[in-house]
Amino acid sequence: MIRNQSTVTCELIVSKDTVLRLLERADASLLFALALKNLEYLAPWLPWACKTLSLQDIEKRIDKFLMQTKNGEAAQFGIWHQKKLLGGVAFFNHDLENHIAEIGFWITSEMTGQGIATYCCRTLLRYLFEKLELNRIEMRCAPANSRSHAMARRLNFSREGVLRECLLIGGKYDNLTLYSLLRKEWLDGTARDKN
């Protein structure tokens, strides 16, 4: 299970207008509509977007994450801003023994550049480091995904290197840049709330 906690919190407050809430099956139709609307924008970076062909695909994805959440392995939160679903943030690939997880995010294209995703990722990091007491959080970004690289820098992640041809997307292998942030960097303030 997750260190220091047997269940994942269902809702994280980002601001008075924004919350992160665990996605549930009841959210599937909203998530499906948002994914379809943003398919062209998401497809180059997120393999699941390319595989989202039906509402049932989204339901299966949510069910999978809910099972992983129950087991303490992952959690997928919807970004709810002014009560409207705008995207998601998640942690996954949770290494239970070594207290490591990876985070990912996406937001509808019409809301990029407004800082919402940054605040949401920062809220998730606070939860992972301060509540779940994870030691290391990773982000992986495709070379051409300039917005994800900028996010990693804004959140003060350290670039560690390139994972060669480790992502199969659109029938082609792509590299991923590996970034990390350590709990001690977060807690001592060297990485927290700099921007």
pLDDT in tens, 55-82: 888 899 899 989 988 888 899 999 999 9
H-assigned helices in 105-161 = 116-126, 146-154
SS3 118: helix
Task: Provide the pLDDT for residue 86.
Answer: 95
Check if the beta carbon of residue 121 is closer than 8 Å to that of residue 105.
yes
Mean pLDDT, the chain cut into blocks of 10 residues (195 residues total): 52 95 93 87 71 82 89 91 94 91 92 92 96 96 92 96 90 94 91 57
CA–CA separation, 70 and 76 (whole Å): 12
What letter does residue 90 receive in the DSSP assignment? Answer: E
Task: Provide the pLDDT for residue 100.
Answer: 96
The residue among 62, 76, 66 whose CA lies nearest residue 105 is 76
The model carries a pTM of 0.88
SS3 2: coil
Question: What are the backbone angles phi and psi of residue 3, rounded to the nearest 5°?
Answer: -55, 130
Task: Provide the pLDDT for residue 7.
Answer: 55
- Structural domains for the chain: 11-187 (3.40.630.30)
